[in-house]
Amino acid sequence: MSFSPGKVMSDRAAWCYTTMGCNSGVGRTTIIDSSLLDHLFPAVPWNSPHQEALAIFLLVPECCVALEARRIPSLALKFAEAVMGLSKGSSNILGEFGTILLFSFHTSYVLYSSVSQLKRILHFLNKSNRAINIESYLERRDNQRLGNSDFSDRPTFILKVRRQFLLEDTWHELSILEDSYLKIYLLVQFENEMPGYGDQGYLVEFFSEVFEKVVQPEYGMFMYCESTSPMWFPPKPSVEKNKYFLFGILYGLSISSRVTAYIPFPLAIFKKLLNKKPTLSDVKELSPFYLTCNYFIFQISWDSMDVDLIENGISTAVNSANKKDFVDKYVDYIFNKSVDDVFSEFRRGFYKVLDEQLVGIFEPEQLMEVAIGNANYDWNLCEKNAVYRGIYSPTHPTIKMFWEVFHELSLEDKKHFLVFLAGNDRIPVTGMEPWKIHPHYLPSEDLIPGADTCFHLLFLPIYSTKQKLKEKLLQAISHNRGFGRFVPIV
């Protein structure tokens, strides 16, 4: 007799239906629970060419979510194991509908899942190369655990700094901070300003300005092989090692605060944070020049130093037999041996803030985009998503002039406008779809446009001519750099 998963499931369903008629609500839930865990999941069709047979994978999440919340984690884990066992053909048949329902299912039980469960559940989506909004997912997890999505109800700690001593105060405050404060919501308070509160606009400005100062070559924390290359840790840093630990904390805080701030890190750092080995292509990202050099001996020049990759490397020739060994030792020196001490401190600080298991969900490219965003601009979508109130509308003459002027700006000026309006010119991993400009009326055309970075508010006067609007807009965005665009309270 041939085995039929469909027959088994049909028999189990009939048994469950008959038994439920004789039990109370609690008993019915237990029966459904047991039937799913013990009978249905082991019998699902992992390798079927028929879409109808695979429909069970679309129905089970809805059934699970309908059960008591306390049972969802164990059901979800079993279901994920079943989904991950699907053949490639069956997975393709399910298509995007499967991804959508799976993600809906995940967000329903995430409150009750441990990190290890969460990692296993999400593995299927990464495995199938389907895009997921991890930031939105983690935000829902955070909000549910806090019991309220309202920012004002979150437990917070306040980082107090003086603008004129920004780096000194930041390092000091982080060095005396208790570990428990690193797991709650961060606010920034500047001396003589915003007494008792802060907002996302200040966070964006704070992180952007601190990072901009720290990554400068003259500050001494990082090296640059070329002026346009990403930065890396120097073999012989000119700052104390503890600063890398504090910078790791700061970088972790920027991610946990959902601030997209550009730092010119290469992909290699995200590989190392995820315990993946950098390769020769990562050396190329740091400096194409170093790959064009012809190496004849096991000695390289790095950060103005001659380094033997093996004992007496200067006397050991590179040949076809040992070329691979040379490349391996070359990569290992640049990304591991030369920076072990300082990178270990950076990593230790980073994972003081973020959960290493949860971060392990990401691939290096995904983590990199979450941390520093991207430059995938869609200016037409930016116009389409604008939200108007009061006298302004898409057909208002000033608004029509504004968008004409905006689309005529150079790419650099458009990026300056983003800094002016949002605090930085990087697009978050969620894309520009949720990124909306809110134009508001100002009464006099003698004024230049203004902005509120927290809510993306653009304060725009009614200008009499397109030329005047352009002049005033360029004047406004040319002053978007530098710390302290917010007016201090004195």
DSSP string spanning 7-23? HHHHHHHHHHHHHHTTS
Which long-range contacts (C-beta less than 8 Å, at least 24 apart) are formed by 120-129?
120/77, 120/80, 120/81, 121/76, 121/77, 121/80, 122/361, 123/80, 123/84, 123/361, 124/80, 124/83, 124/84, 125/99, 126/361, 126/363, 127/84, 128/91, 128/99
Q: Cα–Cα distance between 353 and 177 in angstroms, integer?
A: 12
Strand partners, 160: 189
Helix 25-34 with 5-20: angle, nearest 10 deg: 170
Helix 466-477 with 397-408: angle, nearest 10 deg: 60
Q: Cα–Cα distance between 425 and 434 in angstroms, integer?
A: 15
Contacts of 165 (CB under 8 A, 6+ apart): none
Strand partners, 458: 439, 451
Are the CB atoms for 81 and 73 separated by under 8 Å? Answer: no
Residue type, 195: P
Are the CB atoms for 85 and 5 separated by under 8 Å? Answer: no
Which tokens belong to 80?
């994920």
CA torsion 391-394-400-402 (nearest 10°) is 70
From the list 16, 63, 64, 454, the catalytic residue is 454
Question: Is 64 noted as a catalytic residue in this protein?
Answer: no
Supply the residues annotated as catalytic.
454
